Amino acid sequence: YLEVGLRKTYSLPIVIVLLVFNSCSIKQETESEKLHNLFNDVWGWGLKEFPTRATYLGDYRYNDRLTNMSLASIQRRYKKNKSILSKLENLNREKLDAGDKLNYDLFQKNIKRNIAAHPFKDYLMPVDQMGGLQINFPNLVDITPFRNRGDFDNYLARLSLFPEYVDQIIALMREGLKENITPPKIVLQKVPDQISVQYQFDVKNSPFYEPFEKNIVSLQDSIRAHYQELAVLNIKDHVFTSYRKLFDFFVEEYLPRTRENISAMSLPNGDKFYAFKVKYYTTTNKTPSEIHSIGLREVARIRSEMEKVIKDSGFTGSFKEFIAYLRTNPDFYYDSAEELLDGYRAICKKADPELTKLFGTLPRLSYGVKPIPDFQAPASPTAYYYSGSLKAGRPGYFWANTYKLDTRPKYEMEALSLHEAVPGHHLQISISQELEDVPEFRKHGGFTAFSEGWGLYSEKLGEEMGFYKDPYSKFGQLTYEMWRACRLVVDTGMHAFGWSRERAIKFVADNTAKAENDIFVEIDRYIAWPGQALAYKIGELRIIELRSLAEEKLGENFDIREFHDTVLGSGAVPLDILEEHVKEYIAINLDD
């Protein structure tokens, strides 16, 4: 360019422009640009690989696809993760600013965890009583848009792919049988009913057909009948037939050959597998023995508080008699599912205006309360949170279990609402999704000890929000805290120290006011998901410790709103990184 410019006697300004252009064209990417390009590439790859998650997040480009769950695809994704890690570690972390160093570290931790999980092959256990295609696929209807003909075409395409998807899941389970990698038989007893209920409807009463009744107005009058016919054929021939095939396989071939031993230790490399799960869920290096001891100490401490509440209530009997009174007195239970749901909604409405006293930053996304679907409820916990999406225009939902109303006591409802909705999961997850100037993986990623620790900590915040005014609600809050302390004992007990299911059930029944049905469901959950239940109490204890440290160091300068904004301001992070953030916040305020 310069030679041509001089030969043609271009003026000096033009030569300078050409020099600048040439300089820009060969500009090297900075380490930060390389890092964010990697983030963007991996995020885009992940959405394409997991199209139903893309739908959930409000990205509808792949709504005509299902995730490929073949063994070959799982192995391909594993190799891809190793390649991603190699690309990441070829970057010079020291050339990044503080914000990108955090992005680098969190991304690296996520990729390393994915790689480390692969050899244990728990992908060969794709179905249990808590999750699987008998639960997740029907729920896909709720997050799928039906705005136009293209949306309906995409949905029909997904239904047509369901037989292949079921075949892939069955292949994984067959491989699991060969390698002795299955869930314990005891926790799978309700799965056949969860599967069979999906095809026992008349087609037009199926949840899969619901869009062709409720959303059919999105289509022109002239094609509505045709699309309804297509829906009937797809649901009948692809969905119902495939669920029948899955049912037959599960009952005749799979369930009889699943393992009898409930401990994760009974799996191949079970000791290493459980150690991995403990570290994965708690984001600490604590051993099962250390966690078991923490649980026993917490059980003793909370039991003492519960005894005091019983005394303050005026009840003169023993702890066991008080528990029996709570479990059997009809005054503590609603008579209808709608009354129970309205009770939760009233608590949430009371909680909302209290948030500004405790938080400087609040989410924009709204939330609601709805019942857990009937087919799912018998094997489900008391409640859970299902996050929404501003991009998709979908609110978050606190899903409440209305099955067996005589096991859903009123005195637990305040603590449960604060955990699942606000200031618990809805607030924390929505704030994370609405973070600005961070990579997408930070907005939607998760570290269970942080998220569930925050949920349990939120229950404690109820006292500062004006809840737990009567002794029964306070006892309910302590029961929920005790329940999470018991988890430390029974999860490690069953998976590391040879406890039976019956011993775990008795331990929880002796120390909490939880209903018998709830205890059975919860213990089976811990059996199916080794280590997950440890996250709650371990996370909560760390948050409480960090708050106490901040209060002690800052004294009168401690601001609860600033503290909470610090805890939530980076999204979900491992507990050691959370500690760094809080200590930085303390140091800055001490300097001021």
Distance CA 92, CA 193 (A): 53
Please compute the mean of the pLDDT values over residues 118-147 and round it to a whole number: 96
The whole-chain average pLDDT of the chain stands at 94
Question: 163 or 12: whose pLDDT is higher?
Answer: 163
* Count of beta carbons in the 10 Å neighbourhood of residue 14: 11
pLDDT at 383: 93
CB atoms under 10 Å from CB of 76, counted, come to: 13
Question: Per-residue pLDDT tens for 340-395?
Answer: 999 999 999 999 999 999 999 999 999 999 999 998 899 888 999 999 999 899 99
pLDDT score of 538: 98
In tens, the pLDDT along 142-193 reads 999 999 999 999 999 999 999 999 999 999 999 999 999 999 999 999 999 9
| Beta-strand relationship, 396-400 and 383-386 | antiparallel
| Helix H or strand E encompassing 400 | strand 396-400
Residue 281's closest CA among 579, 538, 527? 538
Contact 459, 418 (CB under 8 A): yes
Residue 423 preceded by cis peptide, ω within 30 = yes
Residue 521 to residues 99, 114, 407, 490, Cα–Cα distance (Å): 42, 28, 12, 14
Mean pLDDT of 276-287: 98
Question: Three-state DSSP class for 399?
Answer: strand
Question: Cα–Cα distance between 255 and 182 in angstroms, integer?
Answer: 9
Alpha helices in 530-574 (DSSP H): 535-554, 560-568
| pTM to 2 decimal places | 0.93
Q: What percent of the chain has pLDDT over 70?
A: 95
**pLDDT tens string 431-473:** 999 999 999 999 998 899 999 999 999 999 999 999 999 999 9
The pLDDT of residue 1? 25
Residue 201 banded pLDDT, cuts 50, 70, 90: confident
Cα angle for residues 6, 8, 13 (degrees, 5° grid)? 60
Mean pLDDT on 255-284: 98
Span 404-413, mean pLDDT? 96
- Of 329, 523, 491, 500, nearest to 409 by C-alpha is 329
d(CA 418, CA 426): 9
- pLDDT, residue 26, reads 59
Closest alpha carbon to 365 in 408, 322, 336, 398: 398
Name, in order, each residue with C-beta under 8 angstroms of 463's C-beta and a sequence gap of 6 or more.
none
